[in-house]
Amino acid sequence: MNARLRRLPITSLAAGWLAASALMQPLPGAAQAVEPLPAPEPSVPALPAPPVEEDAPSAPSVAPAAPPASAQAASRGPASVADLAESLLDAVVNISTSQTVDRPGGGIPELEAPEGSPLQDFFDDLLRGDDGVGDRRVQSLGSGFVVDPSGVVITNNHVIADADTITVNFADGTRLDAELLGTDPKTDLAVLKVNPPEPLPAVEFGDSEALRIGDWVMAIGNPFGLGGSVSVGIVSARGRNINAGPYDNFIQTDAAINRGNSGGPLFDMNGRVVGINTAIISPTGGSIGIGFSIPAQLAVNVVDQLREFGETRRGWLGIRLQAVTDDIAEGLGIPEAKGAVVMGIVPGGPSDNGLLKVGDVIVRFNGQEIESSRDLPRIVAETPVGDTVTVELLRKEDTAAPAQPLSVEVTLGRLEDGEKLMAESEAASEPAANADAADDEAVSSASVVTLGLTLSAIDAPLRGQYGLGDDVEGVVITQVEPNSSAAEKGIEAGAVIREVAQEEVSEPQEVADKIAKLKADGRRNALLLLASASGDLRFVVVPID
């Protein structure tokens, strides 16, 4: 994560009070007498009216219309959120955790007293610490909120990660030990369970999709360990990708969010949870008005699964994707740079049925528009496992014709099972270096240079040199000319060209001939399909010099 982008740090109560007390120091010179306000500046005379020709007709005088009362109220923001905050504060809780950290001797070298000295027992106790085992307890604080009166509490995964004990602290001073029902590091969510003697005040999730930029929101949490604190702001942006995880779709807000707010709720003005505060951008660790919340739409599905199964069960399509850039869109013959281009089919996955192909551009999934390759994994993950969905795509069957729309149906698998399958497949397919590869009968053909690339046919020595799997086919790149367009596109030696302009190639001269034909046809770019040593595919558009 970017150094300037932080998950909300969780601090100990003592550290929180120290930070807060430092912030509350009086300003220099606060004890001095208050200086009177300066006298008002003399008013500036009005500008003279421009001359008016005698023959010119005079325009009627029109007073500006006053905005409607609703618009005037909206421009000033909510008159007060006191009633709303009062009704919600009891459902927002503090989360405290402790963790045992092994620190034998606390870093102090072993101390030995003379044989028989009574000081030896003192030295042993000193090094063991209070619990007598040489460990120490690390405490931290975060926030959370109750979503079920029976005692279900939501917070961030990073608030309770690696904790040995978790305690939920309520506004009335009640402290209850919590059981961890489940966590999801990919969305940074955790679900806890406490057993209260009577039903707890709880809040409901709202519709985060209904939020608009500029809507008022309210954050409640535990900044700097001070206890329940309310701040108000607006929705600054939606759909933010901060590279925190694979399903980033954050709500950005300028409501003050600081250390200890992690896991706390972001409310709309109806008192419903529309987000879970989880990260800020700050050079100092304090709020500068750029905070990020997990949207309720994403959180609800994860929370329900963690409550029911103790784990997530996400939908899985079983494909590898790449973003559609303007150059790739032009090379694939699609009208605009939207959707997600299929770059690989996972063997044994839900899409391994011949319906989807490399180069297909998915534009709709189960009725939802796919704007970019970042949208598709999140939408698929939110779809129930086992559902049969319609995938709408664009496919270019003929290099001379534009891409044509097509629909296929796929029954989704489970992502967690797919991740295990892919890990096992990658481990099994790792090529072993063969020291005797030079004895193979395969003979390398002559090299060809085009687009600043030196190309060779794949033979046994080159497979061994670049670690290419036995199933990797195409033309291997053995050298990339520095400062060439290909080098600027990140192409490196060892990559394999599988296709040129969506036509398969197997010999270096084929690549050169196809590049020459593209140039003769007036094409300015060549669309190359490259494979890595492990077989992962990607499209690269290289200018034709």
Q: Which residues are tagged catalytic?
A: 158, 188, 262
Q: Are 155 and 124 in contact (CB under 8 A)?
A: no
3-state secondary structure of 430: coil
Phi-psi region of 132 (alpha: psi -120 to 50; beta: other; left: phi over 0): left
Q: Are 193 and 181 in contact (CB under 8 A)?
A: yes
Q: What is the DSSP letter of 107?
A: G
The sign of the dihedral angle between the CA atoms of 498, 501, 503, 509 is negative
Locus of tokens 């909300």? 8
3-class SS string, 308-341: HHCCCCCEECCEEEEECCHHHHHHHCCCCCCCEE
Beta strands in 132-246 (DSSP E): 135-148, 152-155, 165-169, 175-177, 179-184, 189-193, 216-221, 229-240
Locus of tokens 């000193």? 126
Q: Are 458 and 443 in contact (CB under 8 A)?
A: no
CA 342 – CA 356 distance, rounded (Å): 8
Q: Are 170 and 227 in contact (CB under 8 A)?
A: no
CA 532 – CA 513 distance, rounded (Å): 23
- DSSP for 446-472 reads PPEEETTEEEEE--HHHHHHHT--TT-
- Element (DSSP H or E) covering residue 418: helix 415-429
Q: What angle do CA 348, 318, 379 make, to 5 degrees?
A: 155
SS3 content of the chain, % helix, strand, coil (to 5): 25, 30, 45
Q: Sort 533 into a burial class: Cβ within 10 Å, 0-12 / 13-18 / 19+.
A: middle
CA 296 – CA 303 distance, rounded (Å): 10
Greatest alpha-carbon span in the chain: 120
Q: What is the DSSP letter of 90?
A: G
Paired tokens of 381:
């993950």
Q: Are 387 and 360 in contact (CB under 8 A)?
A: no
- Which residues, 6+ apart, have CB-to-CB distance to 142 below 8 Å? 8, 10, 94, 95, 97, 155, 156, 159, 160, 222, 260, 261, 262, 263, 264
Q: Are 525 and 473 in contact (CB under 8 A)?
A: no
